[in-house]
Structure 1
């Protein structure tokens, strides 16, 4: 006489399979939701503005930098569905968009678009481009949605859209050469500039202390599978298809984004230049002179636009 138990009915097996699939789905969905929340907090800390209750003047929370002082200035509304703002063309410290005029006016001049790191605001960079402005460059600073007083929520897509709107308006301004727009991004800003390069023509790209992709960094540093990452900022894919001069700058001692990212980007972009600096992530020396030399050597700007001017 056999002691074997009867096999469970096929319907019971099916029910257990369904339960297993549901549990797996809930686990993956929960992990995706949780990593999304963590990703947003780490990738987009979005510094805000505080307001002095006596004067109403806006200051940046962390460094108390003076951002809004003048009451006027010519402005152009931007029809940005992600977050409306004003782009100020002269003398107005708008914390959403800022187009800085060159100190040396020419008939047409290059435009440098700069994108900052994830814990910064454009107000911290207002005085960082005198070297370029002395040489006739216009400089465009764009705040990320949700940062400072900018409306909207920061994401790869919303940042790309913001940059595209700003780019389209800036190149229409008298004095700007639309054929000589240069993108420079630091840290998260490198990802921002690469998203712009996917949709708008740039004459050259400078990537400083940035990543090959957020997905790779997440896996390397936290063991998070890249498919959980919503905002990939896949710079590696972008530089592979770039047809313009590319300069990559990175600190050898970078503890936030390892220098291996810079080497991956360099390897993926034949003809790019890689310069390894003796610094960490936030203490690298001013790269203005190196960038101007690079732009001249690659024929992006004329020699007189990178030569030292006497003011």
Structure 2
């Protein structure tokens, strides 16, 4: 009973009978349906945006891990925003979400993330140094663990509104319940992030009442100060923003700057920025 309640609260999956690329209204050369297979044999459906960019030497591939609500068609604005930065975008629904079968849990989401990573690196043949893991909220926990467990680390990890530990954030919401003793899916990102050697960019709304700002900062502070290539980590507090109203457009200036700084600016982003000074915003480089 407790595990059922936990899954209902933690993974309020949006289901759909069938989701297809054609439903985006975009032409097939912009977005296509893709399928990855997890180690347990479960097939995961997703979308690949900007297929032709996978063969561009300078273009990054963003693997997008969403939060715990909605399905992949709901993230179309985010995908299009990343596409406008010159990135290819790979976005799979988790098992139990959208039109994907299966039961959602912490171990199964990690298995899904590994399946998506294998699809990107083996099927699409994208080298790890061109891959950016982008996770929002729960997806940030998925991305953080994958960055450590993928084998070859990705070039970068971008987090938005991500908690340090699901247990601590849940206990903050329900201080009178024995959360620390009964929660099965604990998502201890703060235990994984010290091992992340990729470039790190983290966003967090200062008015976030789902994952408090200090929970996000705790995660950031536990990460190494510099990545394996010597670049400093960056934390971007977004003044006045909450948990669910940070759009790609809000993050775009800092994300553009970040991609250029780590050498993953595709030709389209570089051309768009020529002659322009991207605003620096309020970035704290440590």
* Structure-1-length-normalised TM-score: 0.72
The residue correspondences of 1:256-275 to structure 2 (distance < 5 A) are 256-269=210-223, 270=225, 271-275=232-236
- 1:81 corresponds in structure 2 to 40
Aligned counterpart in structure 1 of residue 47 of structure 2, from 84, 93, 98: 98
Task: Name the SS of the counterpart of 1:172 in structure 2.
Answer: helix
- In 2, distance between residues paired with 1:308 and 1:272? 26
Aligned counterpart in structure 1 of residue 245 of structure 2, from 263, 276, 283: 283
1:225, distance to aligned residue in structure 2 (A): 3.6
Task: Name the SS of the counterpart of 1:307 in structure 2.
Answer: helix
Q: Measured at CA, do residues 105 and 112 of structure 1 come closer, stay the same or move farther in structure 2, by a change above 3 Å?
A: closer
Aligned counterpart in structure 2 of residue 222 of structure 1, from 161, 168, 174: 174
Is it true that 1:295 corresponds to 2:259 in the alignment?
yes
- In 1, distance between residues paired with 2:90 and 2:74? 14
CA RMSD across the alignment: 3.1
4+ runs deviating over 6 angstroms: 67-71
The question of whether the paired residues in 2 share the 8 Å contact of 1:114 and 1:183 is answered with yes
- Structure 2 spans left out of the alignment, 5+ residues: 226-231, 274-286
Q: Measured at CA, do residues 300 and 70 of structure 1 come closer, stay the same or move farther in structure 2, by a change above 3 Å?
A: closer
The question of whether the paired residues in 2 share the 8 Å contact of 1:122 and 1:141 is answered with yes
The question of whether the paired residues in 2 share the 8 Å contact of 1:104 and 1:133 is answered with no
* Structure-2-length-normalised TM-score: 0.78
Q: Measured at CA, do residues 244 and 79 of structure 1 come closer, stay the same or move farther in structure 2, by a change above 3 Å?
A: closer
Q: Measured at CA, do residues 132 and 102 of structure 1 come closer, stay the same or move farther in structure 2, by a change above 3 Å?
A: farther
- In 2, distance between residues paired with 1:99 and 1:80? 21
Higher relative contact order (CA 8 A, sep 6+): 2
Q: Max radius of gyration: which structure? A: 1
Count of equivalent residues: 255
The question of whether the paired residues in 1 share the 8 Å contact of 2:78 and 2:247 is answered with no
- In 1, distance between residues paired with 2:246 and 2:126? 30
The question of whether the paired residues in 2 share the 8 Å contact of 1:251 and 1:259 is answered with yes
Aligned counterpart in structure 1 of residue 186 of structure 2, from 229, 232, 250: 232
- In 2, distance between residues paired with 1:292 and 1:155? 33
Is it true that 1:143 corresponds to 2:93 in the alignment?
yes
